[in-house]
Amino acid sequence: MSDEDIPTTDPIDPTDDGAPPETPPDSGGGPAVGDPAEPPPTTPDPTPEAPGPGDSIAWEPRTWYTVTVACLTANCSEENVVKSAPLYSNDGKAKNIRVNCGVCRVDCKNLTATKQDPQPEEE
């Protein structure tokens, strides 16, 4: 990189109508270089109505937790019934840390997780 033609100490003055310090966006024709300061035009995270902490729990692998879960299946007799259960975190990946509803067999929503202290001894 050459810094010969790039002012290094001049503050950018918005009232200065001189040439912009950086390449103007419409320099024309060339391939788009991309402006890292410009956010991509993607929509922000679509937030479900009740995100809950369940999917953002920082599971530690090979750890026993006491979790509270609730079935979210419509018309299930256990729907929205919060239950507590011991749960082993396996490899720590959320997709592998699930409690199935005993009625509809669908994965329940993990609401909270509390690390057991002390941890049960492993066999």
The residue among 71 and 97 lying less far from Zn ion, judged by its C-beta, is 71
Q: Is 73 in the site for Zn ion (CB under 5 A)?
A: yes
Site for Zn ion in 9-28 (CB under 5 A): none
The residue among 71 and 113 lying less far from Zn ion, judged by its C-beta, is 71
Concatenating the DSSP letter of every residue in the chain gives ---TTS-SSPPP-TT--S--SS--TT--SSPP---TTSPPSPPPPPPPS---SGGG--PPTT-EEEEEEEB--TT-TTBT-EEEEEEE-TTS-GGG---B-TTT-PBPEEEEEEE-SSPPPP-
Segment contacting Zn ion by CB under 5 A, of 20-28, 42-50, 65-73, 113-121: 65-73
Shortest Cβ 101–Zn ion spacing (Å): 3
Candidates 69, 70, 71, 97; binder of Zn ion (CB under 5 A) is 71
- The total of other beta-carbon atoms located within 10 Å of residue 106's CB is 14
The residue among 63 and 107 lying less far from Zn ion, judged by its C-beta, is 107
Residues 75-94 as x/- pattern, contact with Zn ion by CB under 5 A: -x-x----------------
d(CA 92, CA 72): 23
Site for Zn ion in 93-122 (CB under 5 A): 101, 103-104
| Binding site residues, Zn ion, CB under 5 A | 71, 73, 76, 78, 101, 103-104
